[in-house]
A and B are shown apart, each in its own frame.
Chain A
Amino acid sequence: MSRGPAPRIRALRVGLALACAGLAAGCGAPTATVAVTRPPAVTGSLSTSLTTAQGTWAIAVMGGSAASHDNFWQLFVRRADAGRWSMVTPEGVADNGGLVAAGGNGSLVVGFRPSQELAYSPLATSTDAGLNWTPGLLDAALADTPGAIAVGPSGRTLALLQDGTIEAAPTAGDAAAGRWVPLATLTALAASAPGRSCGLEGVSAVSFGPDHNPIAAGTCARPGAAGVFTDVGGTWRSAGLTLPTGGPGRGTVRVLGLTAIPGGNAALLATGDGLLAAWWDGTRWTVSAPVTADGVRALGFGPGGSAWLLGGGRAETIAGAGSTWRALPPVPAGTAVLAPGTGESYDALAVAGSRLTVWRLAREAWGKVQQISVPVQYGSSG
C-alpha cells in the first residue's frame, strides 16, 4: 500500500508550487498597458486569380512535394469565350519560386520569382490568352506578393522588387528588353511625407490609379493608417485611406492586395479586426465591414471590384463597393484558388499533386466540371 507524503512535506510542496505559479504568473504578466493590435495571421501566398479582357486567370502551386524544387507554379486560363480551363504556364523558366501576373493594355504579364541559383526575374507576356508568350526581363528579384506587377493602360509596367524598390518600364517593349528605371525605393517612400506620417514599414503591392498614376501600398506602423500612396508628378502623396482607430482599422493595417478597376482601385486590407475590402474612385474611399481573416491563405480580385478570400475550408466573396461579404458553401478539399465566373458564380480550383480539379458553384453547391492532369516535371529543378 502506498502512503502519501507526510503533512509537513505536503505543505512544503504546496508552498513551492504556489511560489512557482506566482513566479510564472509574474513572468507572464504584461508590462505595457497599451498594446498595438497586429493584423491577423494571413499566410502569404501567390495563389490568386485575376480577370482581364482575354479571360480569367488563376495561379496555383502544384506537385505536392515536400521539396520546394519539386513544386511548380501553374498558370491556368478560362478564356473569355470558353467555359473550360487550360494550362498556359509559360515555358523556358523553372517557376519553383512562384508566378506573379498582372493584366492590362490587352496583355497579361507573368513574372517568375527567383528560386535556387536564379537571382533575377524573367517575364513572359501574352496578348492571345496564353497561346504564345514573348520573353521579358526584370534584372532584379520580384517581390513575393501577388501584387508585385502592374500594367497600365498604355503598357507602362511597374514591378515591386524583393527589397521594396519599385521599378518602372515605360512600355511593354522596354519591359521585354529589360529597360527598367527605379521609381522609388522603400527608404525613399518611407522618408516621404505620407510615408513618415503612416510609419511605412514595407510595400506589398503596386498598381495604377484612376488617373493612371502609379500607386504603391504596404504596411504602416501607425494604428489605423493604411499605406496607400500615389505618385503625382514624381511626388508621392497619400491616397487618403484612413480607417477609424476605434473601428475596423484598430491596430496596424496591412495592404494584402491592390488592383485597378474601371475608374479606380480595389484593395484588401488586414486589420486588427479582420480583413476588409476598400474601393477608391479617385476622390474617396468606401470600406467594407470586416470579415474574419484568420487562416486566410489566398485572395484575389474579380471584375468590377469584386474580391474573394479563401482559408480553412471557407470562402468569402464581396461583389464590390457598398456590398457585404458573402460566405460561399464550404469549398471542396484541396481548393487552392477561387476564380470568379459569370454572375455570382465562382470556380474552385482544387489541387492534388499533379491533378487540378475544377469545381463550379451552382445553386449553392459545388459541382465537378473539369479535371486537368498537369505534367509536373518532378526532378527537373533538382
Chain B
Amino acid sequence: MPGMNSGLSPGDPTLVAAFRSALLHQGAIALIMLVFLWLLWAAARTWRPAASPGTGGATAEARARWLLRTGFGVLWIFDGILQAQPKMAGGLATQVMEPIAASSPGWVQHLVNWGGTAWSYHPVQAGAASVWIQVGIGTWLIVAVRGPWSRLAGAASVTWGLIVWVFGESFGGIFAPGLSWLTGAPGAVLIYVVAGALIALPEGAWRVPRTGRLLLAGLGLFFVAMAVLQAWSKPGTLSGMVAEMARTPQPRFLSSLLSGFASFATRYGVAVNLVVVIALAAMGAAFLTGRPRLVRYAMWSGIVFCLADWVLVQDLGVLGGLGTDPNSMIPLIVLFSAGYLALTPAVHEAEAPARAAEAKRPGARSVAAAGALALILLGAAPMAAAAVNRTADPILALAISGDSTRLNIPAPDFSLTDQNGRTVSLASLRGKVVLMTFLDPVCTSDCPIIAQEFKQTGQMLGAQAANVELVAVVANPTYRSTAFTRAFDRQEGLTTVPDWLYLTGSLGQLGAVWRHYGVAVENLPAGAMAAHNDLAVVIDPAGRIRQELSSDPGPATSSTRSSFSVLLGQYAKQALRQS
C-alpha cells in the first residue's frame, strides 16, 4: 500500500535503538511527573487530612463494573507493554496493519493506509505514543474507581479502542472475506470499546439487573450470529489459519500443539466446525434467556471454550515480537463474566464491604487518575505534534545512511558548466550553504530519488532556501552533456527550482571533481548503469565541508524520501548557524 511502508526492516538497529531511547526518556519524564503528583498529593493531604474510615456516604462499586474496569485496565496495560516490543516501531505498519488490511475492500485499505503512513513517517513517536496511551488508559481505568473520572476513563477507552479497531485491525476484518469468531472477529479491540462504553454508563445503571440482561442479550445475539457465520465458513479455512499461526516464532510445545490441532482440524474439519457452531449457538441461546442459572452454566462453558480457542486457534495472540494484544478471547471472557455479575448485582454487592471502604479515598484516586491522564498526554502530545508536521522523522534516513561524518575541511574548488551552459565555480557560491551530490542523468534508480530529496529539502527550508544552493555534479562518464542535465531536470521537475545547479564538464574536469570528493564513477558492461557511490556533502558559506553522508536512498518510499529531505535540511540549517 502506498505510503504505509517505510521499507526498513522492523528490526533495524537504528530504529530499535531510537525507539528504546524514546521510551526510556519518556519513562523518566513519566516517573518525574508521578513523583511530582505524589508530592502534591502528600502536601495536600498534610494540609487537609483524609476522611477517616466509616465516614462519608460512599457506596460500593458494582462487582460487574469492577470486573470490567480492572479487567480491561489490566488488558490495556498489557497491550501497552506489548507495544514496547523492539520491532513494534518499525514493524507495526508493514507487518500488522498492512497484512490485515490487504484482504479488505479498497476504501478500508485507503483509510488504513492513511493511518499507516502517519505511523511510517514517525515510527518512533507513534510507537512510543501507543505504549503510553495504552498504559495510561489502563492505569486510569484501574485507579479511577468512581465518579466522573472513572466514567471518563471508559470514554477514553472507547475513543482509543475505536482508533485501534479502525486503523490497527481494519475494522476487525468485518469487511473482509473469511470472517470467523474463532480467529478474532469482529476484532478484539471492539470488545474493549464495548467494555469502555459500559464503564462510561452512569453508575446507577449497574444497580439493576436490567443492564446485565441487556448486555447478555446483546452477547447472546452476537454468539448466535457468529454461529451462523461459522456454519457458512469454508472447509479447511480453520486448519489453514492454525497451521499458519503455528509458524509464528514461539516455544516448541506451543507450535506442536497448534500443528497437532491443525492436523486434527484438517481430518475432522466438519466435526470441529459442527462443535463450534453448536457451542456458539448454545451459549448465545443461554445468554438470551437471561436466566441466572443457565447463564452461569453458559459462562463457565464459555470460559473453557474461549480458553481452548485462545490456545489452540489464536495462539495466545501475543507471540512473534509483533503481537499487539491477546486477541479476542480473554476480553470476551471478561465481558460475558461481567454480564453474569451484572445480572445478579444484589448478591455480589452485599459481599463487597471492603471495596466500599476502598472507595472512600477519592483524593488519592483522583491524583492517580490525573497521573494516568498525564501518561496518555505524554504519548499523544509528541505524536500529535509529529502528525501535524507532514515531513518524516530523520531517523529513517539515519537508519539507511548511517551516521554522517562531521568534518571541517576546505571543499576542493572546481569550475563546471551548469544546465544552462553557464560556468559555475564552487568559489562563486561562497556565502551560501551548498548541499552537493553526484547524479547520473540517465540513472534508473537512485539518482532521480536523491534529486527529489534535494528538491524537497529546498521546499522545506522555506525562506532559508535563499541561502542554500542545491548542487549536483554529473556522475556518468558517457552521458554527461548539458542536453542530459536538462533532460534530467525536466524529468524530475527541477527546471523551476530556484538555486538548483546540475553541473557537468569534460571528462577531465569531472574526473578531477570525482577524485577530490571521493566518488568512484565507472561504466559497467552488459547493459548496466554507470556505477558510482551515493554521496552528499554539506559545504558551509565559507567553503568548508561540514558534513558528509551517504545519500543512498535505500528503499525510497515516500517516508524515507521525506526523511532524507528533513535530515539534509537540518544539516543545511546547522551549517548556516555555524557560519
Contacts and interface: CB of A to CB of B under 8 A. Distances in A.
A99 B526 CA distance: 12
A112 B478 CA distance: 14
Contact of A375 (B486, B526, B529): B526
A119 B447 CA distance: 13
Interface size class of B (residues with CB under 8 A): 20 to 34
A62 B527 CA distance: 10
Contacts of B448: 117-118
SS of A interface (majority): loop
Interface stretch (B44-52, B81-89, B240-248, B437-445): B437-445
A177 interface: yes
Nearest to B478: A92
Contacts of A120: 487, 491
B481 A92 contact: no
Given A117-B449, A139-B487, A178-B487, A122 B479 contact: yes
Given A117-B443, A117-B444, A118-B442, A137 B527 contact: no
Given A93-B479, A120-B491, A72 B527 contact: yes
B527 A96 contact: yes
Interface residues of A, number: 37
SS of B interface (majority): loop
Contacts of A145: none
B477 A137 contact: no
Contact of A73 (B449, B484, B523, B527): B527
Interface in A121-142: 122, 133, 135, 137, 139
Given A118-B443, A120-B491, A178-B487, A89 B479 contact: no
User: Max chain A CB contacts within 10 Å: which of B483, B484, B528?
Assistant: B528
Interface in B451-485: 476-479, 481, 483-484
Given A118-B442, A137-B484, A139-B487, A92 B526 contact: no
B385 interface: no
Interface in B506-528: 523-528
B445 A91 contact: no
Nearest to A139: B487
Contacts of B481: 135, 137, 177
A377 B444 contact: no
B524 A380 contact: yes
Interface in A37-92: 62, 69, 72-74, 87, 89, 91-92
B452 to A, nearest CB: 9
B526 A89 contact: yes
B390 interface: no
B182 interface: no
B477 A92 contact: yes
A95 interface: yes
Contact of B478 (A62, A91, A115, A119): A91
Given A91-B478, A92-B476, A92-B479, A380 B529 contact: yes
Closest 9 CB pairs of A and B: A377-B528, A92-B478, A72-B527, A94-B529, A117-B448, A95-B527, A91-B523, A116-B444, A178-B483
Interface of A: 62, 69, 72-74, 87, 89, 91-97, 99, 112, 114-120, 122, 133, 135, 137, 139, 177-178, 374-377, 380-382
22 contacts: A72-B526, A73-B527, A74-B526, A87-B525, A89-B527, A91-B478, A91-B528, A92-B530, A93-B530, A94-B527, A96-B527, A112-B442, A116-B444, A116-B445, A118-B443, A122-B484, A135-B479, A139-B490, A178-B487, A377-B525, A380-B529, A382-B445
